[in-house]
Structure 1
Amino acid sequence: MNVIFMGTPDYAEKILKRLIDESNINIVGVYTQPDKPVGRKKVMTPPTVKVLAEQNSIKVYQPTRLRDEDTVAQLLRIECDYIVVAAYGQILPREILDHAPCINLHASILPQYRGASPIQQTLLNDDKSTGVTAMLMEEGLDTGDILKIDRVDVPKDMMVETLFDRLTEVAVNLTIDVLENFTKYTPVKQNDDESTHCKKITKQDGEVTFSDAHEIYNKYRAFTPWPGIYLKNGLKLKKIQLEDKCAIHKAGTILEINKDNIVVACEKGSIKIYTVQPQSKKEMDIHSYINGKRLALEDTFL
């Protein structure tokens, strides 16, 4: 079968790799986002999907706007049986949706967490399970009919990178399953009344206060390594654990000083802090930090 693939981040790159490895699938074109400047030196860097495609001599297209007339016309000249979309980053216009069945792999149990950050939202909400949904695309954002959902458990201490890897593995296998058995699945409409949405993550989302320990810990799980979690003064909390979820304290009070951590009170609950990173400095263990600040038991860690 001939397949056009659309995707941009590592999640998409791993799906594409599996499709390339399948002997009965021929990737006839790859669409991905334009190269972007990365790092302090703003070095133009291609998406990982582009790198993989070029390594396998697959034609790559990087339109700024997929809806542009010339871009649509160019895609319609590519004969294909399916279009597979995984975290591409642009909405497909009607002309492309009509060109071939467009199958999207979304990292949530739709209609829950439509939008840009479903994996992080799963951890922010401390969900016990999540999954990957294969759906037929339409012009709305993650609103298409569902073909199949594969579910996974989410342990209470799972971090975003681990969950990302687990869902990527599920998405890879689900993609192959749906392509090979497409005619066996009956599309099921989503219940819009049950839908929830999640936004694109920004650096500002990582700021925390010592209000709710459980909320801080879930942000830590969701936002490590990026954007990380940090206090208003810019101090990054690099490694923490949830100590208690319920006890009522004076926020920021140092409750314990242990061998490799300190316990800091929140208005509700408390957290253990192991390592931190002050602004413009290297990461350090918590004892080096509190000694430098001359902080002791019952002082305020702010």
Structure 2
Amino acid sequence: MKILFMGTPCFAKIVLEKILEDSTHQIIGLFSQPDRPFGRKQELKFPDTKEFLIQRKEKIPIFQPEVLDEKCVDIISSLSPDVILVVAYGKILPKKILSLSKCINIHASILPKYRGASPIQEMILNDDSEYGVSVINMEESLDSGDILGVHSFEVKEYMDIDSLSRVLAQMGADLVLRILQNLSHIQPIRQIHSESSYCKKILKEDGLIDFGDAKKIFLKSLAYASWPNIFLKNGLKFFGINLVDEDGSFSPGEILEIRKNTIVVGCKKGIIEITTLQAPGKQKISASAYVRGKRFEIGHILK
């Protein structure tokens, strides 16, 4: 089967690698987001999918349009794919492209729950008891197409965004390969649209926290571990958060204990342990070294 792959980040790269390993399918082209400036030096960074193909020296054409215009329609039409597989591409496909071939999407949630841009973060933030991926036929409305397959599992341990993304990407790759092998025999299932929920694109300000609820801080630290992290209004960033207690009430930000490398901090509800802190423009250091440098003691307020 000739597959045109449309995907950009590491999640998509994992799926792409799995499909390339399957000799029954041929990747005839990659569409990804354009190279973007990255880091303090603002050097151009390749999308993960593009970098992966280059490192493997694959002779697969790569397209990185800013806009999916008529030129893109012509390119895709000339490639004549049997299937267009979309995995975290980052752009909405216009009707003209959807009409060129069968379009399938891997979405990292159990649809119709968490349609939109940040389903994995949303699963973590809501402390879901079950995680999963869906494979759907694509249509013009956002993540609303008929379901071709779902794979899910019961949550037994907390995972941050990077760990969970890798697990779900592998699950999605295995699921879509099974679906592609049986595509002509699968009876799609309509989503129950009345049960749908949506999630937005993550913004930097979403990482802002106070010391209100320890459990929410902990879940945010997992959901935003890769970006934008979690931080106070003064820009102080927190890393390596552990949930010590969900209950109890303390002065928000009260330092309860200074350990060898960590500190224990009270919230309006609950207690967290902080491993690492990073002040704006500074390097990361252990939380205990930070508070000692500030001459904070037990009972002082971290702010």
SS in 2 for 1:77: helix
1:113 match? 114
Could you give the per-residue CA deviations for residues 176-212 of structure 1, whole angstroms, max 9, x where no partner exists?
Answer: 1111111221111111111111111122111110001
Residue aligning to 1:4: 4
Q: Does structure 1 retain, via aligned residues, the 8 Å contact 2:14–2:166?
A: no
How many Å separate the matches in 1 of 2:287 and 2:30?
47
Per-residue deviation, 1:153? 2.8
- Which residue of 2 is the match for residue 95 of structure 1? 96
Shift of 1:42: 1.8
Q: What is the number of residues matched between the two proteins?
A: 301
Contact 2:249 2:268 survives alignment (8 Å): yes
Q: Aligned partners of 1:179 and 1:203: how far apart in 2?
A: 37
Between stretches 34-43 and 125-134, larger displacement belongs to 34-43
Higher mean alpha-carbon deviation, 105-114 vs 93-102, is at 93-102
Distance in 2 separating the partners of 1:43 and 1:261: 35
- Residue type of the alignment partner of 1:60: I
> Unaligned stretches of 5+ in structure 1?
none
Q: CA deviation at 1:57?
A: 0.3
The amino acid across from 1:239 in the alignment is G
After superposing the two structures, state which structure 1 stretch, 210-219 or 182-191, moved more.
182-191
Give distance in 2, aligned partners of 1:218 and 1:110.
22
**1:26 and 1:206 mapped to 2: Cα distance?**
41
Which residue of 2 is the match for residue 206 of structure 1?
207
Distance 1:254 1:52, change over 3 A: closer
1:300 matched residue in structure 2: 301
- Structure 1 contact 114–141 (Cα < 8 Å) conserved: yes
Shift of 1:156: 4.3
Runs of 4+ that moved beyond 3 A: none
Separation in structure 1 between the aligned mates of residue 265 and residue 7 of structure 2, nearest angstrom = 42
What is the Cα-based RMSD across aligned positions, in Å? 1.4
AA at the equivalent of 1:87: A
Alignment partner of 1:27: what SS? strand
Equivalents in 2 of 1:43, 1:297: separation in Å? 43
Query: How far apart are the structure 2 equivalents of 1:225 and 1:211?
Result: 23
**Is contact 2:121-2:223 (8 Å) kept?**
yes
Paired position in structure 1 for 2:270: 269
Residues 254 and 302 in structure 2, CA contact (< 8 A), matched pair in contact too: yes
* Match of residue 65, structure 1, among 58, 64, 67: 67
Task: Give the match for residue 50 of structure 2.
Answer: 50
The Cα shift of 1:259 comes to 3.5
Amino acid at match of 2:231: Y
Hey, what's the Cα distance between the residues in 1 that align with 2:88 and 2:226? 20
Would the alpha carbon gap of residues 4 and 230 (structure 1) be closer, same or farther in structure 2, given more than 3 Å must change?
same
Please give the secondary structure, in 1, of the residue aligned with 2:246.
strand
Distance 1:225 1:50, change over 3 A: closer
Task: Give the aligned partner of residue 127 of structure 2.
Answer: 126
Alignment of 1:1-302 (within 5 A): 1-54=1-54, 55-66=57-68, 68-302=69-303
AA of the residue aligned to 2:53: A
1:87 offset after TM fit, Å?
0.5
Structure 2 residue ranges without an equivalent (≥5): none
Change (3 A) 1:201 1:144: same
Distance 1:187 1:212, change over 3 A: same
Do the aligned residues in 1 keep the contact of 2:4 with 2:81 (CA within 8 Å)? yes
The amino acid of 1:194's aligned partner reads E
Report the 3-state secondary structure (helix = DSSP H, G, I; strand = E; otherwise coil) of the residue aligned with 2:270: strand
**Residue type at the aligned position of 2:66:** T
Distance (whole Å) between structure 2 residues aligned to residue 225 and residue 81 of structure 1: 35
Q: In percent, how many aligned pairs have the same letter?
A: 42
Q: State the TM-score, normalized to the length of structure 1.
A: 0.95
* CA deviation vs aligned residue, 1:43-70 (integer Å, no higher than 9, x gap): 222212123334210011112111x122
Amino acid at match of 1:3: I
Q: Is the 8 A contact 2:261 2:289 kept in 1?
A: no
What's the CA shift for 1:218?
Answer: 0.4
Q: Deviations over 1:121-155 (max 9, x none)?
A: 11111112111100000011111100000002333
